[in-house]
Structure 1
Amino acid sequence: MTLAALPGPPGTRILGLGHYRPGNVVTNHDLIARGVDTDDEWIKSRVGIAERRWADPDESVVDMAEQAASKALAASGVSTDDIDLVLVATCTMVTQIPAAAPELASRLGIHAPGAYDVNSGCSGFVYALNAASAAVLTGQARNVLVVAAERFSGWLDMTDRSTCIILGDGAGAAVVGPSDTAGLGPVVWGSDGAQFDTVAIDAESRLFRQEGQAVYRWATGEMAPIGIEACKRAGLEPSDIVAFVPHQANLRIIDALARRINLPNAIIARDIVTSGNTSAATIPLALSRMVEAGEIPSGAPVLLLGFGSGLAYAAQVVLAP
């Protein structure tokens, strides 16, 4: 017995992007005024952040996801009637059940799509992007809405200056659809599960914690070869990359990776300076803002590199919409 084949298109690509940042700007000086034992120069020298955005008390992960998704749909020109799957990358839902994706789909008027969440922390968007691409390539979806949204302001320990200064809230989204040629390169992904608990929500306090130095050493020591391999699998050299959009974890990590991958012609995303670390949302948020500002031309190859909790990672080259 054989099963029916699943016909799909030759390739997939990002058809449109969108992003959302809450209106509540929290500067380093605002944190000091709230009693955090730190100073502006220390924060900038350690992580490169000048300000971050925090959601209003009644603003949820799904609220932010809806804003970013609406913009991505508008930019893509794809009707909600033509979306067959909705994926939400997040690790900051208040409860584990229900997932964000079905609610988001309902709010957007997408009728009866497949819908599920992806929880891989800071690499979650790239993981979800590849799940979306696979669904289109195998003919199981015509178009897929991929959203990454995080609300870390509800999980912060304000007495821990090593974490509360870093994290922010926001969302980014992409519509993935069919293409006559490949617009999403092969993914390079993996994990170092021996260090799974270096980034976590503490079981007792229910607040975010991380072993910052361990994550820094891992990221700067292990992630550059992953980015280089993603370029290789896409049939490109690092010198062909027009933009590098890594997870916005720490400005020193971003700059170290850019040097070690050796990207002489690439503009480097440094969205962390004004958005903070928004985990899964950092990559699509930064990419969308750069495309909107005209910093990345349509069709340009962009290297995405997500890494963080798990410790999981994923990298790939995509063509800008």
Structure 2
Amino acid sequence: MTSTRIVALGHHQPERVLTNDDLAAMVDTSDAWIRQRTGIATRRIARDDESVADMATAAAGKALAAAGLAPADIDLVVVATSSAIDRSPSTAARVAARLGAAAPASYDLNNACAGFTTALAAADHSLRAGAARHALVIGAEKMSDLTDWTDRSTCVLLGDGAGAAVLSAVADGSTGPGGLQGVGPVVWGSDPTRADAVRLTGAWQPRFAQDGQAVFRWATSTLAPIAEEACRRAGVAVADLGGIVTHQANLRIIESVVRQLGATEAVVAKDVVDSGNTSAASVPLAFSKLVERGDLTPGAPVLLLGFGGGLSWAGQVVSCP
């Protein structure tokens, strides 16, 4: 048997910054209104000719370089996305081709905002089973393509970007600097009776819509016990967490979950302030930024928790690369 470990991360964001004041010139809103309800100050918006695959490839290339691996070393590519336009070939196949990966298994996974942590678990299971040695797991979204720019309740939320992780198989029992065995067991599930609370519906031009209050109530009442269970399965006390990276949906949700956990010593990702809600990209994007800035100690246990449309969730504790 083998274990797995995230050995490197990378991220990419478009150049264009869309501020709250910019949005106030487009719809009936204000910087104060947006900050009070969401915590968001800015978000990044991709160019018309900048695709999900473009952003995913850029993030993956940075992660590969940080890992010290060649594209030929990668034998599994998984892209979590709900905004890619093409159904086939998959975004993962496009990324593999652009990177020059030899003959990897490749597929896209759509679990909305829980996509990256779900994809990470799927890749972890594949590596543990011996089906691959090194995997690229990517979350990439161009949510601006799905935004109704006349709806002030949703257009203020969304942004574009990508984050990637290189996941490698290691000998079973091998631990990182912090003593954690790489990627911990996943806690995942869904409440399909509430699936319509977050929606991307429509044949050719889907538009993002949600019941914001319902999602807020669900998240603030449901997620803390899921996070605690992920810690328990990994054998890590909440008090010993070095970092917490949840889906960057809303600053009030993030702060509520962290407060309920009582994780007073953990570094908490709050990239939502600068990047908005980037759906499946938000967890790896925020995680990669924390690592790049040196805010997390290598080997420290970090809780990852994705949640959103479905209503779905997936979370695990990982050793910080």
TM-score by length of 1: 0.95
Tell me what 2:241 maps to.
241
Report how far residue 206 of structure 1 moved.
2.1
Structure 2 Cα separation of the partners of residues 44 and 98 of structure 1: 39
SS in 1 for 2:310: helix
Structure 1: 5+ residue stretches without partners: 1-7
Which residue identity does 1:229 align to in structure 2?
Answer: E
Which residue identity does 1:293 align to in structure 2?
Answer: R
Report how far residue 197 of structure 1 moved.
1.2
- Give deviations 1:83-108, integer Å, cap 9, x for gaps: 11100000001133331011110000
Q: Does 1:220 align with 2:224?
A: no
Structure 2 Cα separation of the partners of residues 144 and 235 of structure 1: 25
Structure 2 Cα separation of the partners of residues 29 and 81 of structure 1: 45
Structure 2 Cα separation of the partners of residues 130 and 95 of structure 1: 24
Q: Does 1:133 align with 2:124?
A: yes
Tell me what 2:87 maps to.
96
Q: Does 1:25 align with 2:3?
A: no
Tell me what 2:110 maps to.
119
Tell me what 1:166 maps to.
157
- Give deviations 1:233-254, integer Å, cap 9, x for gaps: 1111100001100000000000
Which residue identity does 2:164 align to in structure 1?
Answer: A
Structure 1 Cα separation of the partners of residues 39 and 230 of structure 2: 26
Report how far residue 130 of structure 1 moved.
1.0
Structure 1 Cα separation of the partners of residues 236 and 139 of structure 2: 27
Q: Does 1:16 align with 2:8?
A: yes
SS in 2 for 1:140: coil
Which residue identity does 1:64 align to in structure 2?
Answer: M
SS in 1 for 2:249: coil
Q: Does 1:208 align with 2:208?
A: yes
Structure 1 Cα separation of the partners of residues 252 and 62 of structure 2: 31
Report how far residue 201 of structure 1 moved.
1.5
Which residue identity does 1:161 align to in structure 2?
Answer: R
1:165-184 maps to which residues of 2 (within 5 A)? Answer: 165-180=156-171, 181=174, 182-184=181-183
- Give deviations 1:194-247, integer Å, cap 9, x for gaps: 011111113376211111001001000111000001011111110000110000
1:251-262 maps to which residues of 2 (within 5 A)? Answer: 251-262=251-262
Report how far residue 112 of structure 1 moved.
1.5
The equivalent position to 1:155 in structure 2, one of 134, 137, 146, is 146
Report how far residue 263 of structure 1 moved.
0.4
Runs of 4+ that moved beyond 4 A? none
Structure 1 Cα separation of the partners of residues 89 and 214 of structure 2: 33
Tell me what 1:188 maps to.
187
- Give deviations 1:98-146, integer Å, cap 9, x for gaps: 3101111000000121000010011110111111111111111010011
Structure 2 Cα separation of the partners of residues 203 and 218 of structure 1: 25
Q: Tell me the matched-pair count.
A: 312
Structure 1 Cα separation of the partners of residues 158 and 88 of structure 2: 24
Report how far residue 255 of structure 1 moved.
0.1
Structure 2 Cα separation of the partners of residues 124 and 72 of structure 1: 18
Q: What is the aligned-residue identity percentage?
A: 54
- Give deviations 1:44-72, integer Å, cap 9, x for gaps: 00000000000011000000001100000
SS in 1 for 2:154: helix
Tell me what 2:178 maps to.
none
Tell me what 2:272 maps to.
272
SS in 2 for 1:19: strand
Root-mean-square deviation over aligned CA pairs: 1.0
Tell me what 1:231 maps to.
231
SS in 2 for 1:162: coil
SS in 2 for 1:94: coil
Structure 2 Cα separation of the partners of residues 121 and 262 of structure 1: 27
Which residue identity does 1:206 align to in structure 2?
Answer: P
Structure 1 Cα separation of the partners of residues 87 and 94 of structure 2: 13
Q: Does 1:71 align with 2:62?
A: yes
SS in 2 for 1:197: helix
Tell me what 1:289 maps to.
289
TM-score by length of 2: 0.95
SS in 1 for 2:107: strand
Q: Does 1:84 align with 2:75?
A: yes
Structure 2 Cα separation of the partners of residues 95 and 111 of structure 1: 22
